[in-house]
Structure 1
Amino acid sequence: MRCFFSCVNPLKAQFPKKNNACISPPLLSLLNNFETSLRLSITKLILKDDDKNAFLTVSWMIQAMRFLCETHQSIKTLVTDLNLLVSHTEESLMYAYSDISSKLLQLCDAFILELDRINHVNLLLKLVFSNAEEFSLSQFNCWRQLMASKNPSIENCGEVLSSLVESMNRYHRLYKKKQSAKVKVFMRALYGVMVKTLYMFSVFAAAFSGSSKNILYLTIPKEMEEVPWEQAFMELQNMINREIKNTLFSDKFTGIKDIQAVESGAEKLYAEVQKKLAPNMLMAELLKRSVIEISERFDIVSNETRCLRETVVSARDAVFKRVCR
Structure 2
Amino acid sequence: MSRPHDAHRSFFPFGNPFKMISSKGTKFSPQLLEILHAFEATLEERLKKLVPESKDEILSFSWMTLAMQALCESHSDIKTLITELELPVHDWDEKWIDVYLDISVKLLDICIAFCSELSRLNQGHLLLQCALHNLESSSSDQFVRACSSLDGWNQHIGSKNPRIEKCSCILDNLVGSLDLPKVKKSAKGKVLMQAIYGVKVLTVFVCSVFGAAFSGSTKNLSDLDVADIYSWAPSFKSLRDLVNEEIRVRFSSGRFTVLKELEAVDSSVKELYPIIQGVVDNVETGILLKIVGELRRATEQLSQGLDLLTKEVDSFFHVVLTGRDALLSNLRSGAAGSDLIRGSNGDAQAVN
Are residue 158 (structure 1) and residue 168 (structure 2) matched? yes
Aligned partners of 1:159, 1:249: CA distance in 2, in Å?
23
Query: Aligned in 2, Cα 1:11/1:305: closer, same or farther, shift over 3 Å?
Result: farther
Give the match for residue 76 of structure 1.
79
Q: Distance in 1 between matches of 2:66 and 2:275?
A: 37
Q: Deviations over 1:119-159 (max 9, x none)?
A: 11110111102222433544322211101111011112221
- Alignment partner of 1:246 is 2:249: yes
Equivalent residue runs for 1:126-165 within 5 Å: 126-132=129-135, 133=138, 134-136=142-144, 137-165=147-175
1:271-299 alpha-carbon deviations (Å, 9 max, x no partner): 32321334612321331232133112211
- Residue 135 of structure 1 aligns to a residue whose secondary structure is helix
Larger displacement relative to structure 2 (14-23 or 232-241):
14-23
Deviates most, 126-135 or 36-45: 126-135
* Separation in 1, partners of 2:253, 2:170: 22
State the superposition RMSD in angstroms. 2.4
Alignment of 1:60-71 (within 5 A): 60-71=63-74
2:46 pairs with 1:41? yes
In the alignment, what sits opposite 1:118? Answer: 121
Q: Distance in 2 between matches of 1:151 and 1:214?
A: 15
> In the superposition, relative to structure 1, how do residues 68 and 105 fare at CA in structure 2: closer, same or farther (>3 Å)?
same
Structure 2 counterpart of 1:141, one-letter code: D
- CA distance in 1 between counterparts of 2:37 and 2:164 reads 36
Distance in 1 of aligned mates of 2:321 and 2:185: 24
What is the Cα deviation at residue 18 of structure 1?
5.1
TM-superposed deviation, 1:28: 1.4
Q: Of residues 276, 281, 285 in structure 1, which corresponds to 2:293?
A: 285
User: More displaced, 308-317 or 17-26?
Assistant: 17-26
Quick one: which amino acid aligns to residue 108 of structure 1?
A: C
The 5-angstrom pairing of residues 97-112 of structure 1 reads 97-112=100-115
Partner residue, 1:12: 16
Aligned mates of 1:295, 1:285 — CA distance in 2: 15
Deviations 1:74-102 (A, max 9, x none): 11111111121345771121012110111
Report the residue type matching 1:229 in the other structure: W
Could you say which residue in structure 1 is the equivalent of 2:206?
Answer: 200
What SS class does the counterpart of residue 17 from structure 2 fall into? coil
- Aligned-partner Cα distance in 1 for 2:80–2:88: 14
Aligned to 1:6: none
Provide the rounded CA distance (Å) in 1 between the counterparts of 2:260 and 2:69.
19
3-state secondary structure, aligned to 1:299:
helix
Q: Normalized against structure 2, the TM-score is what?
A: 0.80
Q: CA deviation at 1:162?
A: 1.5
Asked if 1:24 is matched to 2:24, the reply is no
After TM superposition, the structure 1 stretch with the greater mean CA deviation from structure 2, 89-98 or 191-200, is 89-98
CA contact (8 A) 2:72 2:319 kept: yes
Q: Which secondary structure does the structure 1 equivalent of 2:229 belong to?
A: coil
CA contact (8 A) 2:172 2:220 kept: no
Structure-2 residue corresponding to 1:5? none
Which runs of 5 or more residues in structure 2 are unaligned? 1-12, 336-352
Q: Does 1:214 align with 2:217?
A: no
- Cα 1:289–1:199 change in 2 (3 A) is same
Residue of 315, 319, 325 corresponding to 1:311: 319
Fraction of identical pairs, as percent = 36
Distance in 2 (alpha carbons) for counterparts of 1:298 and 1:128: 19
Q: Report the secondary structure of 1:246's partner residue.
A: helix
CA distance in 1, matches of 2:300, 2:264: 14
How far the C-alpha of 1:211 sits from its partner, in A, is 1.3
Q: Contact (CA 8 Å) 1:58, 1:256: kept in 2 or not?
A: yes
Shift of 1:249: 5.8
Alignment match, 2:261: 258
Q: 1:89 to 1:65 in 2, by over 3 A?
A: closer
Separation (CA, whole Å) in 2 of partners of 1:20 and 1:300: 48
How far apart, CA to CA, are the structure 2 residues paired with 1:142 and 1:206? Answer: 24
Residues 246-269 of structure 1: CA deviation (Å, up to 9, x unaligned): 103673453211111111111111
Cα deviation digits, residues 199-232 of structure 1 (max 9, x gap): 11100111112211110111114xxx22111110
